[in-house]
Amino acid sequence: MRAFVTIAVVALGLGVWGCSGSGYTSGNGGNPSTPTPSIPGVVTINVVAVNGAQSFSPNPASLPAGQMIVWHNVDSITHRVVLNDRSVDTGNLAPGTSSQPMAIAAAGGQYHCSIHPEMVGSVNQDTSNMPAPCQGAYCD
């Protein structure tokens, strides 16, 4: 049993190593189709204006399980998105910039702009993409 676990861990490690290795060697370098408007696995929330619950779009946002959030400041002034429980802080987002991909607690949460506290939004866990039991004529 212990030997099996060890082998599995080693195999996993090699797999990770192999992936990152190929990613670094063949990644950004010569790929002509580099400009990707959206990053897979990331939900983008636009920071629109200092406008209460309409400051963010979409709001409330739905976050599929396991995905991360990027706040993209499309406004003309700097904003700073902070989760109300302070688990996430984007730092200052200059106009036109995006935050790093942020992991949100599975339960989601309320957030606001620490510079303009009247800017409020919320993220909800989206369970609609969860694998559902297949029903109907086209299952299999």
Residues found near Cu ion in the complex (CB under 5 A): 79, 113, 115-116, 119
* Closest distance of CB 79 from Cu ion, Å: 3
Of the pair 68, 115, the CB lying nearest Cu ion is at 115
Closest separation in Å from C-beta 36 to Cu ion: 27
Judged by CB, which is closer to Cu ion: 109, or 121?
121
Q: Nearest approach, Cβ of 73 to Cu ion (angstroms)?
A: 8
Closest approach of Cu ion to the CB of residue 93, in Å: 8
Q: Per-residue DSSP letters for the chain?
A: -HHHHHHHHHHHHHHHHHHHHHHHHHSSTT-TT---SS-TTEEEEEE--S-GGGSEESSSEEEETT-EEEEEE-SSS-B-EEETTSS-B---B-TT-BPPPB---TT-EEEEESSSTT-EEEEEEE-TTS-----STT--
For Cu ion, give the closer residue by CB, 92 or 125. 92
The residue (of 70 and 125) whose beta carbon lies closer to Cu ion is 70
